[in-house]
Structure 1
Amino acid sequence: MSGLASGLMFSAPWALLLLPLPLLVWWLAPPHRERIAAIRVPFFQRISERLGLIRGSGSVVRKRRYWQWIIGTLVWLLLVTALARPELEGDAVTLQKPARDLILAVDISGSMDQQDFLSPAGERTQRLAGVKSVLAQFLGGREGERVALIVFGSKAFVQAPLTTDLDTVQELLQLTEVGMAGPHTALGDAIGLAIRQFETSDIQQRLLILLSDGSDTASRMSPINAAAIAAQQRVKILTVGVGDPHGESDNRLDIDTMTAIATRTGGEFFFANDQQALARVYQQIDALAPKKVDSETFRPRQSLAYFPLALALTLAMLSVALHMLERADWRREAAS
């Protein structure tokens, strides 16, 4: 690239080397000369004077007028300029594209309705409400990443597919209610559904954050087997437990399984029993797996080649029109 002025660039500046080409042709390739048969005319001098012709040494080269030289030169300059592809360069634009896909799998089984989750003020709130509050802050720091939301209970469902529209993910998260996916907990199915979501992506770095307060009671595939498949698919799983490890059998947080899931995929298990602890967990997750975004900077360019082309065409048409007018004048004079 080369530029003549601020913002004006030539994409093919080598084309400017063609500017002296007409001079080289005029110098190296003079008019063609050949001998041809002719008839002697006794009054040739009078015909030549009448037609305004100048005799040469056996050949006739039409003389061009000054305006023809000027228009021809301008047309050639404009054509070469267009061939050099002038472009107007704009200000630099930086685009961010995700370098990692992140899926949040949130447990919304019946046990998430329990009012034992402590708020920063020390008040007991619903587990899911507390999780939503902290997740909203976490999502606010994922700008530029592709995020998906999966909710699961007895079944697992995709609430939001992989997208960079985090506002929509936030809205869908807030609309989620306990029991929408059934009363039980299907950890393995949630992992399997996340794997299928990752299969549609060509991004290599894949992270699943699995949040639950219970033990697996409804999966068709065991969570450990699902984690093994996730490891084969290069999916890293971070598990977060927010339940009671000493609760009843179905509602008891299965720390061993949650830890095994994370370990099998190279991730970690975190435990949080209140909003402050959960917020610290997500801070640790940010440190363990910071936001991954690739930046690409480019300058938009607008082609200006049509300007010299249009002007060259206009001049060429003007030249043809003037030439036709001269020939018409010459014919009228010859007729008279």
Structure 2
Amino acid sequence: MYSFEYPYIFLLLIPFFLCFKYCKAKEASFYFPHLFLIQKSVLKTTAFIEILKYLVVIFAITALASPIKIKDIQYIKNDGIDIVLALDTSESMSARGFNKFDLKQNRFDVVKQLVSDFMEKRVNDNIALVVFGNSSMIASTLSFDKEAQKEILSYLDIGVIGPKTALFDSLATSAKILKNSKAKSKVIILLSDGEDTASKIPLEVVLKLLKKYNIKVYTIGINSENRYVLDKIAKDSNAKYFNANTKEDLMEVYNQINELEKSKIEKNKIVLKEYLYFYPLFIATIILILLIYLKNKE
């Protein structure tokens, strides 16, 4: 199938044809910039030369309209879901001893390592990053670019937005990211090790948002005394609460979540096309050279 990328360019033919007919120059006409050789022609143009002028313009504008041959159209669909990873960066995440093989490693460093591994496994998923402390912040919007997200994750640290825990606000921020998602499955994976101490949005409002946009929230508590609230959030959103007391526990949690149901996401429509603009451009150039030759021969 043949088509043009910029068909509206053909509208330029209208002023060109009108000018050819009504714009009579008192001196030699300049049809193309820098082609000063045309100035030498002072004689009346022949019918053949008039036709050549029209052809140059027609083929040049055809080249500008970018003719293409559409070879194939492919719709890339992937089994996946839209996921927001909401991570606690409050001061309590600096506690050590979570990794029994490296007692100096704090909780957040373990989380970053496991989240990075989790993202690598979700090749076909759109993933976003949200962090929360005194407030919540979008670290990365939904993206398939896992390498870029892993780099962003590596720069995040404890206390990046304060020492407190705005857990409910982080859910509201995550819901804002997912509300316009076209995926059939929308998931938030919330990880925290403490109670909410800084949110401005009540839990009841957050739960309504999750229900309105049909978002599941898988909650993970690290040595958490906030189990009741985390469990309520998970159950009210038709998801599940997990508790992790060690790095191994957390690794197993992410492995379980990795078995989430899949949904179809249409990533892109790829049009395989062949560009043909150089053919009319070549013809226009040859005709132009012929036109200059004939004009100077007169």
TM bucket (normalised to shorter chain) is 0.5 to 0.7
What amino acid is aligned across from residue 95 of structure 2 in structure 1? Q
**2:113 maps to 1:133:** yes
Q: Indicate the SS of the match to 1:270.
A: strand
Aligned to 2:89: 108
Aligned residue for 2:247?
275
Contact 2:81 2:262 in 1 (8 A): no
- Give the letter aligned to residue 112 of structure 1: M
Q: What pairs up with 1:240-259 in 2 under 5 angstroms?
A: 240-244=220-224, 252=225, 254-259=226-231
Alignment RMSD: 4.2
| 2:139 matches 1:159 | yes
- Stretches of structure 2 that go unaligned for 5 or more consecutive residues are 4-61, 294-298
Q: Residue type matched to 2:90 in 1?
A: S
Residue 269 of structure 1 aligns to which amino acid in structure 2?
Y
| Distance of 2:284 and 2:202 partners within structure 1 | 74
Query: Scaled by the length of structure 2, what TM-score is found?
Result: 0.65
Q: Which of structures 1 and 2 has the larger relative contact order (alpha carbons within 8 angstroms, sep 6+)?
A: 2
Q: Does 1:222 align with 2:202?
A: yes
1:203 aligns with 2:175: no
Rg comparison, structure with higher value? 1
Equivalent residue of 1:138, what SS?
helix
- Checking the alignment, whether the CA contact within 8 Å between 1:99 and 1:203 is kept in structure 2 is no
Equivalent positions of 1:1-336 (< 5 A) are 95=76, 100-119=81-100, 121=101, 123=103, 125-199=105-179, 201-204=180-183, 205-244=185-224, 252=225, 254-290=226-262, 293-294=265-266, 298=270, 300-304=272-276, 307=279
How far does residue 232 in structure 1 lie from its aligned partner after superposition?
A: 1.1
When residues 98 and 158 of structure 1 are mapped into structure 2, their CA distance, relative to the original with a 3 A threshold, is farther
- Structure 1 stretch displaced more, 288-297 or 122-131: 288-297
Superposition deviation, residue 228 in structure 1: 2.6
SS of residue in 1 equivalent to 2:230: helix
**Cα pair distance change 1:296/1:171, threshold 3 Å:** closer
* Structure 1 pair 298–232 and aligned structure 2 pair: CA distance change class (3 A): closer
Alignment-mate amino acid for residue 134 of structure 1: L
Q: Deviations over 1:127-164 (max 9, x none)?
A: 11111110110111233433221111221122222233
Count residues in correspondence.
244
The percentage of aligned residue pairs carrying the same residue is 28
Shift of 1:118: 2.0
C-alpha separation between the residues in 2 aligned to 1:118 and 1:305? 62
8 Å contact kept, 1:228–1:264? no
From the superposition, tell whether residues 291 and 214 of structure 1 become closer, same or farther in structure 2 (CA, over 3 Å): farther
Output one character per residue of 1:258-289: Cα deviation in whole Å (capped at 9) or x when no partner. 01001111111111122222121111111124
1:41 equivalent in structure 2: none
Q: Structure 1 length normalisation: TM-score?
A: 0.58
